[in-house]
Structures are given as structure tokens and as C-alpha cells.
Amino acid sequence: MLRASAEVTTTPLDPRSITDRSVDPLLPHGVALLDFVDAVLGGRESEQSSARAGVLTALGPTGLVDAAGVIANFEMMNRIADATGMPVGKGTRQRTVEWRTLIGIDRFDHS
């Protein structure tokens, strides 16, 4: 979804920033958003508070709620797909090969 959204809106994005935090995501407030994702999905409460404050400062209350909603939706979709053993379709694998290579996601065990 991120890949397709970036392409449709011609928004510059470096997908390597997803797995390599030394890479600039090229998105406005991208670092704050990545910090928020990392904190929500695995950070300590102090990290979550700091990351939440960063997004609130950068994007305002509506942006913070939107960002939290996107994180929650992606987490839900991934849990459903994992729990049901849903395979990634051939077309999706073909369309995403460049991005998967860039971010190194194929190194994870998806079984």
C-alpha cells in the first residue's frame, strides 16, 4: 500500500528507511512517523510518549490520530494474514520484488 500510494501521488520515498534508520525516508516528517511506528510496535512507554509528542508537534492532533489509525490498521491486517496463513499472491510478489529487495524483507521467515 505504501509503495502504491507513493507512486500514485508521486511522493518521493526511500523504502530502505523502513528497515535502515540511517536512510532518510524523504517524506515530510518521515523520521517522526518512523519513530512513532517503532515505539508503538515495540517501544517502551517512555519511547511511546516521546514519539507521540514528536508526531503531535509535527502533524498536530488530527495527524497523530491518523498516524495511529494507520499503524493499527496495518497491524490488524498483518495479524489476520499471519493467523490464516494467507499467502502473498504471485502478482503481488512480482510487483513488489524491487521494494522487497531494497528493504530486505525477504530475509524474514514468512512461514
Tens-digit pLDDT profile for residues 21-35: 899 999 899 999 999
Summarize the confidence of residues 99-110 as an average pLDDT.
Answer: 79
φ and ψ of 8, to 5 deg: -65, -40
Query: In this structure, which amino acid lies at residue 69?
Result: G
d(CA 85, CA 78): 10
Domain assignment present for 13: yes
Predicted confidence (pLDDT) per residue in 47-60, tens digit: 999 999 999 999 99
For residue 67, the enclosing domain spans 2-106
Question: Which has the closest alpha carbon to 29: 60, 72, 75?
Answer: 60
Domain assignment present for 37: yes
pLDDT attached to residue 81: 84
Domain assignment present for 90: yes
pLDDT attached to residue 30: 93
Domain assignment present for 111: no
pLDDT attached to residue 110: 58
Provide the domain count of the chain: 1
pLDDT at 109 over 70: no
Query: What does the angle CA 66 – CA 77 – CA 3 come to, to the nearest 5 degrees?
Result: 70
- Percent of the chain at pLDDT > 70 equals 96
Domain assignment present for 12: yes
Domain assignment present for 73: yes
Summarize the confidence of residues 55-83 as an average pLDDT.
Answer: 94
pLDDT attached to residue 87: 82
Length of the chain: 111
Summarize the confidence of residues 106-110 as an average pLDDT.
Answer: 70
**Is the CB of residue 25 less than 8 Å from the CB of residue 31?**
yes
Its pTM stands at: 0.77
Domain assignment present for 55: yes
**pLDDT higher at 58 or 87:** 58
**Is the CB of residue 46 less than 8 Å from the CB of residue 39?**
no
